[in-house]
Structure 1
Amino acid sequence: MRYSSRVKPISFLKANAAEILSDIASRREPMLITQNGEAKAVLQDVASFEETQETLALLKLLALGNRDIEAGRTRPAREVLKRLREKKTSA
Protein backbone atom coordinates (compact mmCIF):
# COMPACT_ATOMS: atom_id res chain seq x y z
CA MET A 1 0.00 0.00 0.00
CA ARG A 2 1.25 3.44 -0.88
CA TYR A 3 0.67 5.88 1.92
CA SER A 4 1.63 8.83 -0.30
CA SER A 5 -1.78 8.66 -1.98
CA ARG A 6 -3.51 8.65 1.43
CA VAL A 7 -2.03 11.93 2.77
CA LYS A 8 -4.46 14.77 3.41
CA PRO A 9 -4.18 18.10 5.21
CA ILE A 10 -6.15 18.67 8.39
CA SER A 11 -8.34 21.21 6.58
CA PHE A 12 -9.50 18.42 4.25
CA LEU A 13 -10.34 16.29 7.29
CA LYS A 14 -12.33 19.11 8.86
CA ALA A 15 -14.32 19.72 5.67
CA ASN A 16 -14.90 16.04 4.81
CA ALA A 17 -14.87 14.11 8.08
CA ALA A 18 -17.94 11.92 7.44
CA GLU A 19 -16.79 11.01 3.91
CA ILE A 20 -13.25 10.25 5.10
CA LEU A 21 -14.48 8.02 7.93
CA SER A 22 -16.68 6.10 5.50
CA ASP A 23 -13.79 5.72 3.04
CA ILE A 24 -11.40 4.54 5.73
CA ALA A 25 -13.90 1.98 7.00
CA SER A 26 -14.71 0.59 3.54
CA ARG A 27 -11.16 0.52 2.16
CA ARG A 28 -9.55 -0.48 5.47
CA GLU A 29 -6.54 1.66 4.64
CA PRO A 30 -5.16 4.29 7.02
CA MET A 31 -4.91 7.96 6.11
CA LEU A 32 -2.08 10.27 7.12
CA ILE A 33 -3.16 13.74 8.27
CA THR A 34 -0.79 16.67 7.99
CA GLN A 35 -0.69 20.02 9.72
CA ASN A 36 1.45 22.81 8.31
CA GLY A 37 2.98 20.29 5.91
CA GLU A 38 4.10 17.88 8.65
CA ALA A 39 2.67 14.46 9.39
CA LYS A 40 0.67 14.71 12.64
CA ALA A 41 -1.76 11.80 12.83
CA VAL A 42 -2.92 8.58 11.26
CA LEU A 43 -6.61 7.76 10.92
CA GLN A 44 -7.49 4.08 10.89
CA ASP A 45 -10.77 2.16 11.05
CA VAL A 46 -11.56 0.42 14.32
CA ALA A 47 -11.43 -3.14 12.93
CA SER A 48 -7.95 -2.59 11.50
CA PHE A 49 -6.81 -0.95 14.72
CA GLU A 50 -8.02 -3.93 16.77
CA GLU A 51 -6.26 -6.36 14.41
CA THR A 52 -3.07 -4.33 14.75
CA GLN A 53 -3.31 -4.41 18.54
CA GLU A 54 -3.85 -8.19 18.53
CA THR A 55 -0.88 -8.65 16.22
CA LEU A 56 1.31 -6.50 18.47
CA ALA A 57 0.24 -8.52 21.51
CA LEU A 58 1.20 -11.77 19.76
CA LEU A 59 4.54 -10.32 18.69
CA LYS A 60 5.21 -9.24 22.28
CA LEU A 61 4.48 -12.77 23.51
CA LEU A 62 6.89 -14.17 20.91
CA ALA A 63 9.57 -11.69 21.95
CA LEU A 64 9.12 -12.61 25.62
CA GLY A 65 9.32 -16.29 24.70
CA ASN A 66 12.54 -15.70 22.78
CA ARG A 67 14.01 -13.91 25.79
CA ASP A 68 13.12 -16.87 27.99
CA ILE A 69 14.79 -19.24 25.52
CA GLU A 70 17.94 -17.09 25.40
CA ALA A 71 18.02 -16.90 29.21
CA GLY A 72 17.58 -20.65 29.55
CA ARG A 73 14.21 -20.36 31.28
CA THR A 74 12.64 -23.29 29.46
CA ARG A 75 11.57 -26.83 30.26
CA PRO A 76 11.07 -29.81 27.99
CA ALA A 77 7.46 -30.19 26.83
CA ARG A 78 7.30 -33.74 28.19
CA GLU A 79 8.13 -32.49 31.67
CA VAL A 80 5.48 -29.76 31.53
CA LEU A 81 2.82 -32.13 30.18
CA LYS A 82 3.63 -34.68 32.88
CA ARG A 83 3.29 -32.02 35.57
CA LEU A 84 -0.05 -30.84 34.13
CA ARG A 85 -1.39 -34.39 34.02
CA GLU A 86 -0.36 -34.93 37.63
CA LYS A 87 -2.15 -31.74 38.66
CA LYS A 88 -5.28 -32.81 36.78
CA THR A 89 -5.44 -36.23 38.46
CA SER A 90 -4.83 -34.82 41.94
CA ALA A 91 -7.55 -32.17 41.60
Structure 2
Amino acid sequence: MGVPRIVPISDLRADAASLVKETRETRRPVFITQRGRATAVLLSIEEYEKDIDRVEMLEALDSGQEDIASGMRGYTLEEVNERLKAVIARHE
Protein backbone atom coordinates (compact mmCIF):
# COMPACT_ATOMS: atom_id res chain seq x y z
CA MET A 1 0.00 0.00 0.00
CA GLY A 2 2.91 2.37 0.50
CA VAL A 3 2.90 5.54 2.56
CA PRO A 4 -0.65 6.57 3.42
CA ARG A 5 -1.94 9.98 2.37
CA ILE A 6 -2.93 11.91 5.48
CA VAL A 7 -4.70 15.27 5.33
CA PRO A 8 -6.27 17.51 7.95
CA ILE A 9 -10.02 17.99 7.89
CA SER A 10 -9.47 21.62 6.88
CA ASP A 11 -8.01 20.38 3.56
CA LEU A 12 -11.09 18.21 3.07
CA ARG A 13 -13.33 21.23 3.69
CA ALA A 14 -11.28 23.39 1.32
CA ASP A 15 -10.99 20.92 -1.56
CA ALA A 16 -13.19 17.86 -1.13
CA ALA A 17 -13.65 17.39 -4.89
CA SER A 18 -9.91 17.05 -5.43
CA LEU A 19 -9.56 14.48 -2.65
CA VAL A 20 -12.51 12.46 -3.96
CA LYS A 21 -10.98 12.51 -7.44
CA GLU A 22 -7.64 11.38 -6.00
CA THR A 23 -9.18 8.38 -4.23
CA ARG A 24 -11.08 7.41 -7.36
CA GLU A 25 -8.00 7.66 -9.61
CA THR A 26 -5.40 6.13 -7.29
CA ARG A 27 -7.75 3.66 -5.57
CA ARG A 28 -5.87 4.46 -2.38
CA PRO A 29 -7.46 5.76 0.80
CA VAL A 30 -6.95 9.24 2.18
CA PHE A 31 -6.81 9.44 5.96
CA ILE A 32 -8.48 12.50 7.47
CA THR A 33 -7.24 13.97 10.75
CA GLN A 34 -8.88 16.30 13.21
CA ARG A 35 -6.78 17.99 15.86
CA GLY A 36 -3.87 15.78 14.82
CA ARG A 37 -5.72 12.49 15.25
CA ALA A 38 -7.05 10.15 12.58
CA THR A 39 -10.84 10.44 12.50
CA ALA A 40 -11.97 9.17 9.09
CA VAL A 41 -10.90 7.44 5.90
CA LEU A 42 -11.96 8.52 2.44
CA LEU A 43 -12.24 5.59 -0.02
CA SER A 44 -13.39 5.24 -3.59
CA ILE A 45 -16.68 3.39 -3.84
CA GLU A 46 -14.93 0.57 -5.71
CA GLU A 47 -12.43 0.02 -2.91
CA TYR A 48 -15.18 0.26 -0.29
CA GLU A 49 -17.22 -2.42 -2.10
CA LYS A 50 -14.15 -4.66 -2.37
CA ASP A 51 -13.57 -4.29 1.36
CA ILE A 52 -17.20 -5.15 2.12
CA ASP A 53 -16.96 -8.22 -0.12
CA ARG A 54 -13.81 -9.34 1.70
CA VAL A 55 -15.49 -8.95 5.09
CA GLU A 56 -18.58 -10.84 3.92
CA MET A 57 -16.41 -13.67 2.58
CA LEU A 58 -14.42 -13.91 5.81
CA GLU A 59 -17.64 -13.90 7.86
CA ALA A 60 -19.06 -16.67 5.66
CA LEU A 61 -15.90 -18.73 6.08
CA ASP A 62 -15.94 -18.20 9.83
CA SER A 63 -19.61 -19.15 10.02
CA GLY A 64 -18.91 -22.28 7.99
CA GLN A 65 -16.10 -23.29 10.32
CA GLU A 66 -18.41 -22.83 13.31
CA ASP A 67 -21.13 -24.89 11.61
CA ILE A 68 -18.73 -27.72 10.86
CA ALA A 69 -17.39 -27.67 14.42
CA SER A 70 -20.94 -27.95 15.78
CA GLY A 71 -21.70 -30.92 13.53
CA MET A 72 -23.90 -29.09 11.05
CA ARG A 73 -23.98 -30.30 7.46
CA GLY A 74 -21.71 -28.41 5.09
CA TYR A 75 -22.44 -27.21 1.58
CA THR A 76 -21.79 -29.02 -1.67
CA LEU A 77 -19.40 -27.50 -4.18
CA GLU A 78 -22.39 -26.64 -6.37
CA GLU A 79 -24.07 -24.75 -3.51
CA VAL A 80 -20.88 -22.83 -2.78
CA ASN A 81 -20.42 -21.93 -6.45
CA GLU A 82 -23.99 -20.63 -6.68
CA ARG A 83 -23.50 -18.42 -3.63
CA LEU A 84 -20.22 -17.07 -5.02
CA LYS A 85 -21.85 -16.34 -8.39
CA ALA A 86 -24.55 -14.36 -6.60
CA VAL A 87 -21.95 -12.23 -4.78
CA ILE A 88 -20.00 -11.63 -7.99
CA ALA A 89 -23.15 -10.77 -9.97
CA ARG A 90 -24.10 -8.19 -7.35
CA HIS A 91 -20.96 -6.19 -8.17
CA GLU A 92 -20.81 -6.43 -11.94
Tell me the distance in 1 between the aligned counterparts of 2:4 and 2:73: 47
The residue matched to 2:73 in structure 1 has which SS? coil
- Bigger CA drift: 28-37 or 65-74? 65-74
Match of 2:52 in 1: 53
Normalised by the length of structure 1, the TM-score is 0.76
Tell me the distance in 2 between the aligned counterparts of 1:76 and 1:61: 12
Tell me the distance in 2 between the aligned counterparts of 1:75 and 1:12: 51
Tell me the distance in 1 between the aligned counterparts of 2:63 and 2:30: 32
Match of 2:86 in 1: none
Task: Let me know the Cα RMSD of the aligned residues.
Answer: 1.7
Residues 1-27 of structure 1: CA deviation (Å, up to 9, x unaligned): 13x541110011111111111010000
Query: Match for 1:48: what amino acid?
Result: E
Equivalent residues in 2 for 1:32-51, closer than 5 Å: 32-51=31-50
Tell me the distance in 2 between the aligned counterparts of 1:76 and 1:48: 29
Normalised by the length of structure 2, the TM-score is 0.75
Structure number having the greater helix percentage: 1
Q: CA deviation at 1:72?
A: 1.4
Query: Match for 2:40: what amino acid?
Result: A
Match of 1:68 in 2: 67
Runs of 4+ in 1 over 2 A off after TM superposition: 74-77
Q: Which runs of 5+ in 1 are unaligned?
A: 78-91
